[in-house]
A and B are shown apart, each in its own frame.
Chain A
């Protein structure tokens, strides 16, 4: 049996076959692997986004904690940042004493990890021990972190009591924090 296919139809068939093969090859070799890759990358990206969100949440929580700490303890933080000023100290605390004299600020040998410690020798005159108690209460609320140290001497001088003691002033270690 002889098939009678015209030359034009033969070309048409050849072109169709060629295009079909091209479409199939393009789909299976390029498009489908790329599609798979796309799906994998999308899953990967979603995971990355979820992790980033967790990081951001944790970051926000930490920031909240830091802000709360800073706002709750503003006085202590500022007190550590303040540089000790003898004149200001005398002005703030002279109410508790009849006379108050501070010696020059000297660097203490007892250094704390990240804090500088300075020592001030103080001599003063008080009317009664109560003034000294009030002073100790006021020191805890002052603009610096100050610890009263031994030895503390009280000596009666007629109607007054002469007291002398050492104060340790704590501040944040930094080069520019030169005592006044």
Chain B
């Protein structure tokens, strides 16, 4: 038997207010936690990336120092080869100058080119020819000149001419040529 027209409201554990509260805080907490998780993930990624950067810089440093040492070595090779090539060219010019120096009337039988001197053996028609045509230019080049003569069968004279440059002058010449080479290298680098 019914005493009322309205039926009794069903009682729920989660009321609509509580539901609203849970939804609101649920969304809020979800957003907070997901932001925090994103930050944690980023933190981990940053750590990985910075480790990667450190490793790459280390590798680059190694490769850079290896390349630098290679460059230095090649530059040393170039400097040495230039020195050798220049010496050869200078030597060629010196020998050419020597042979140009000898007049047609004098015949050389032997020539020894030393680091600090020159020894010539040959035949001359007379001492005067030797003195004016060969001795004079040799004197202008060398500091010490010694000549000795002895007669040949046909009335000509055999001679031995020994000529030396002072050691200091050779050193100065060497220093000058090294300076020139350095200058050339610097200009090349610029």
Contact = CB atoms under 8 A, between A and B. Distances in A.
Interface stretch (A54-62, A85-93, A103-111): A54-62
Given A12-B18, A150-B115, A155-B109, A23 B29 contact: yes
Contacts, number: 155
Interface stretch (B84-92, B132-140, B145-153, B155-163): B84-92
Contacts of A113: 76
A114 B73 contact: yes
Contacts of B32: 23, 26-27, 31
B129 interface: no
Contacts of A102: none
B111 A146 contact: no
A52 B51 CA distance: 12
Given A23-B29, A56-B60, A136-B91, A112 B67 contact: no
B36 A31 contact: yes
Determine the main DSSP class of A at the interface with B: helix
Contacts of B108: 154, 156
Contacts of A137: 92
Interface of B: 15, 17-18, 21, 25, 28-29, 32, 35-36, 39-40, 42-43, 46, 49-50, 53, 56-57, 60-61, 63-64, 67-68, 70-71, 73-78, 80-81, 84-85, 87-89, 91-92, 95-96, 99, 108-115
Which 3 A-B residue pairs are closest in the complex by CB-CB distance? A147-B84, A136-B92, A150-B115
27 contacts: A8-B15, A15-B21, A16-B25, A23-B25, A31-B32, A31-B35, A37-B43, A48-B53, A52-B57, A55-B56, A62-B64, A65-B71, A66-B70, A73-B77, A129-B95, A133-B96, A136-B89, A147-B84, A147-B87, A147-B88, A148-B87, A151-B113, A151-B115, A152-B91, A152-B95, A154-B112, A170-B80
